[in-house]
Amino acid sequence: MRSLRDALGRYATGVAVVTTCAPGGERIGVTVNSFASVSLDPALVLWCLSRRAPSTQAFLRAGRFAVNVLACGQEHLSQRFARPAPDKFAGVETRLTPSGLPALAGALAFFACRTVTAYEAGDHRIFVGEVEHFQWHEGEPLVFHAGRYRELGAMDPSMDRIGA
């Protein structure tokens, strides 16, 4: 199993924190690197969560979630939301999305979504959501590769064109 994880870790990913509000109003958040675009029309995204995660049932019941794409320098948020804690949001600056979901300040982008479906797949659930609202700004992403956070190198402007 460790060898498979090491091999999968060779695929560099972004890092996101998925947030929601439980029916009782409790804010819930988890760190993921399984976020992906599914479709532009309709606008659909997906992310995966372990079926054993304590927050799985809350995400299923909530019916909505927000994906917060972390920026370079937000490793502390990734680590905070990756570990169990009584209140992962304590001391974290947030704002509410138009649908009332917590969005993390300083994230490169957020996508407020309505859960369309959640599939069981092995030891995880795949949540598919329709994007209802999103916002983004320029900046460098937080990247995870081979078990470590990484920074992207400076982009060469001559590489901006296909076929250059």
How confident is residue 164, by pLDDT bands cut at 50, 70 and 90? very low
pLDDT for 110: 96
| CA distances from residue 15 to 1, 19, 55, 164 in whole angstroms, order as listed | 22, 13, 18, 30
**pTM given for the model:** 0.90
SS3 102: strand
Other CB atoms closer than 10 Å to residue 136's CB: what's the count?
A: 11
Distance (Å, whole) CA 124 – CA 120: 6
Q: Helix, strand, or coil here: 120?
A: strand
DSSP string, 18-74: EEEE-TTS-EEEEEES--EEEEETTEEEEEEEETTSTTHHHHHHH-EEEEEEPBTT-
Between 42 and 149, name the one with better pLDDT: 42
DSSP summary character for residue 1: -
Going by pLDDT thresholds of 50, 70 and 90, the confidence category of residue 9 is confident
Domains of the chain by residue range? 2-150
**Residue 5's pLDDT band (cuts 50, 70, 90):** confident
Percentage of the chain modeled with pLDDT above 90: 75
- pLDDT tens-digit map of 74-89: 999 999 999 999 899 9
Residue 84 · residue 116 · CB < 8 Å = no
Report the chain's mean pLDDT, rounded to a whole number: 91
Higher per-residue confidence, 158 vs 96: 96
Residue with tokens 């309709």: 42
pLDDT digits (tens, 9 = 90+) for 109-162: 999 999 999 999 999 999 999 999 999 999 999 999 888 988 776 545 554 444
**Residue 109 · residue 15 · CB < 8 Å:** no
For domain 2-150, give the CATH number. Answer: 2.30.110.10
Instruction: At 30, list the tokens.
Output: 């988890």
Average pLDDT for 29-44:
97
